[in-house]
């Protein structure tokens, strides 16, 4: 090959490579413009033992759950270890190593949340080649920050024990819960449930296969309230079951089903088609989970404080006053549900599953611009599931939200004074509530009735006070003097007006003390003239 041909081939390679190089450089530049600055992750603890103690299962609870009630299980540790592995891959270029100055973990003061945080951190920051990095043997321990339960307003602010005003707002939902209890369910649920005279533990049973041709009968004669009333007796619940506390039985059943433990026969009661009673209890629990945080004021007081914290952290990162790259919050299903409601986003109305996580990622988009991406991951062990984007009203639907837009869109759901707002409701708020209005109307009616009664009584008895002579018992000398004066007065008046004697006869019958001062003076003048 001649020198000329070699040079031509070189130039051809250069020319063909130029577009590729340009495209690669452009892609790199575009990638450099969008840089992750901070991720904040709120997650629920992993799989746990049941929390509520049900008389139906009391005899076997100690052997079923040797670690105790409400404790993280081995399966729960594995969930968070795998979630940590997901974060290790997802943030491998931005957050690859742990350092306390850049990564901070906050947890509620419960064993299950503290252990979940440890398992997640081990999965994230223990090297993949480390042989002892596993859910059963953590490569190291990580600092987990916490505060006493009674002081944890940030992660437990959704609890009505921490916000007194939430208790008041929750009571306002009484009519909503009553309507839910009256909601009809398939007739077969009541019919088949009533056949159980006494509930007994039943072995696991296969779930009925879906039958498209099967239709349940709902006539309205069977309601959630009917089901829960009968179920209260069957399981020996310490308090009557209702839509407010149905989770105590549905969650207990679910925990036992997950671990192949025996459950009450009520769990498998058929709806006449391919559904069982546990399905309906779970739906009711899902409904209850979010109804408690529905409405702007409830959402602001229950989840708004954590939203405010995250917004402030992002602002500090933008201002350069914070060096954190990852802030993690280990909490509970109610914490996640309240936060979802505070964001005012559309999302699956399901109780947040174990190890469900919400990521709020802050990016630098170049030229002094910043973006926020919010993603909800519900399957911790599925690395292909990066999460669904939560679209906040006012933000773009198919891409991250500009930071300023995000702040404006969430402003009304961020409490400015959480502690005063959570204090006892003011008189104005009580009066303006439905219950307060009813109380005011009732009080007004009572006052009007009293006023009318007093008015009629005064009309009936007159305005003067009349004393009979027999009751007065005046001295004889006084009565004699009055008699002499009256005799003299009658003599003078008989000549001019015979009819006046009738009036004076009335006065002889009664001694009257008018309440009017003018009348008293008139009587005095008459006596003096006589």
Percent of the chain with pLDDT over 90: 61
Question: Which of 80, 87, 88 minimizes the C-alpha distance to 114?
Answer: 80
User: Over the range 45-76, which residues count as b (16 or more CB within 10 Å of their CB) and which as e?
Assistant: bbbbbbebebebbeeebeebbeeebbbbbeeb
**Using an 8 Å Cβ cutoff, are 52 and 70 in contact?**
no
Distance CA 411, CA 157 (A): 18
Model pLDDT, residue 34: 87
Model pLDDT, residue 30: 40
pLDDT confidence tier of residue 346, bands split at 50, 70 and 90: confident
253 or 458, which is more confident: 253
287 or 25, which is more confident: 287
Once rounded to an integer, what is the mean pLDDT over residues 178-199?
A: 94
Per-residue model confidence as pLDDT tens digits over 202-216? 877 888 888 888 999
Once rounded to an integer, what is the mean pLDDT over residues 417-425?
A: 83
**Using an 8 Å Cβ cutoff, are 247 and 236 in contact?**
no
Distance CA 444, CA 198 (A): 51
Model pLDDT, residue 199: 85
DSSP code for 128:
T
- The CA-atom distances, in angstroms, between 414 and each of 10, 56, 307 are 63, 43, 7
User: Over the range 167-193, which residues count as b (16 or more CB within 10 Å of their CB) and which as e?
Assistant: ebbbeebeeebeebbeeebbbbbbebb
| pLDDT above 50 (res 409) | yes
Once rounded to an integer, what is the mean pLDDT over residues 265-284?
A: 95
Distance CA 196, CA 194 (A): 5
pLDDT confidence tier of residue 137, bands split at 50, 70 and 90: low
Distance CA 387, CA 373 (A): 11
Question: Which of 112, 119, 124 minimizes the C-alpha distance to 73?
Answer: 112
Once rounded to an integer, what is the mean pLDDT over residues 188-195?
A: 94
Per-residue model confidence as pLDDT tens digits over 460-470? 765 544 444 44
Global pTM reads: 0.75
pLDDT confidence tier of residue 454, bands split at 50, 70 and 90: confident
Per-residue model confidence as pLDDT tens digits over 69-123? 999 999 999 999 999 999 999 999 999 999 999 999 999 999 999 999 999 999 9
The strand pairing partners of 360, in sequence order, are 40, 374
Model pLDDT, residue 26: 36
The average confidence (pLDDT) of the chain is: 83
């Amino acid at each position: 090959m001649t020198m000329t041909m070699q040079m031509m081939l070189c130039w051809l390679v250069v020319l063909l490579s130029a577009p590729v190089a340009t495209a690669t450089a452009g892609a790199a530049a575009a990638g450099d413009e969008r840089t992750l600055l901070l991720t904040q992750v709120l997650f629920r603890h992993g799989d746990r033992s049941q929390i509520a103690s049900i008389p139906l299962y009391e005899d076997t609870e100690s052997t079923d759950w040797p670690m105790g009630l409400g404790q993280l299980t081995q399966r729960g540790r594995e969930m968070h270890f795998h979630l940590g592995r997901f974060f290790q891959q997802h943030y491998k270029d931005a957050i690859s190593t742990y350092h306390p100055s850049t990564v901070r973990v906050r947890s509620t003061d419960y064993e299950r949340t503290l252990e979940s945080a440890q398992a997640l951190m081990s999965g994230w920051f223990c090297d993949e080649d480390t042989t002892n990095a596993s859910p059963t043997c953590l490569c190291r321990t990580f600092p987990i920050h916490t505060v006493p339960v009674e002081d944890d307003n940030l992660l437990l602010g959704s609890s009505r024990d921490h916000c007194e005003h939430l208790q008041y707002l929750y009571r306002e939902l009484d009519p909503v819960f009553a309507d839910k209890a009256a909601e009809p369910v398939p007739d077969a649920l009541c019919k088949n449930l009533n056949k159980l005279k006494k509930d007994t533990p039943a072995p696991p049973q296969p779930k009925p296969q879906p039958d498209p041709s099967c239709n349940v009968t709902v006539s309205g004669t069977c309601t959630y309230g009917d089901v829960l009333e009968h179920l209260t007796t069957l399981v020996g619940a310490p308090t009557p079951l209702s839509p407010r506390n149905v989770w105590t039985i549905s969650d207990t059943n679910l925990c036992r089903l997950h671990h192949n433990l025996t459950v009450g026969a009520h769990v498998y009661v058929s709806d006449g088609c391919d559904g069982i009673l546990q399905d309906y209890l779970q739906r009711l629990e899902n409904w209850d989970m979010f109804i408690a945080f529905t409405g702007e004021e409830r959402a602001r007081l229950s989840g708004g404080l954590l939203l405010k914290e995250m917004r402030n952290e992002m602002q500090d990162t933008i201002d350069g006053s914070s060096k954190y790259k990852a802030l993690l919050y280990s909490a509970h299903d109610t914490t996640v549900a309240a936060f979802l409601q505070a964001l005012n986003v559309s999302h699956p109305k399901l109780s947040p599953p174990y190890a469900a996580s919400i990521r709020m990622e802050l990016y630098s988009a170049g030229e002094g611009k910043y973006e926020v991406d919010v993603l909800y991951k519900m399957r911790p062990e599925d690395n292909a599931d990066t999460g669904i984007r939560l679209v906040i009203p006012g933000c773009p639907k198919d891409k991250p939200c500009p930071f300023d837009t995000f702040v404006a869109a969430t402003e009304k759901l961020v409490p400015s004074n959480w502690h005063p707002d959570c204090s006892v409701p003011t008189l104005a708020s009580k009066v303006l509530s439905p219950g307060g209005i009813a109380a005011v109307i009732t009080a007004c009616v009572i006052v009007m009735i009293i006023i009318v009664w007093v008015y009629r009584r005064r009309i009936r008895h007159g305005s003067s006070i009349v004393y009979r002579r027999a009751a007065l018992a005046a001295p004889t000398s006084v009565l004699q003097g009055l008699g002499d004066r009256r005799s003299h007065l009658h003599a003078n008046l008989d000549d001019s007006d015979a009819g006046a004697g009738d009036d004076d006869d009335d006065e002889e019958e009664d001694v009257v003390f008018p309440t009017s001062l003018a009348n008293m003076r008139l009587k005095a003048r008459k006596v003096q003239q006589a």
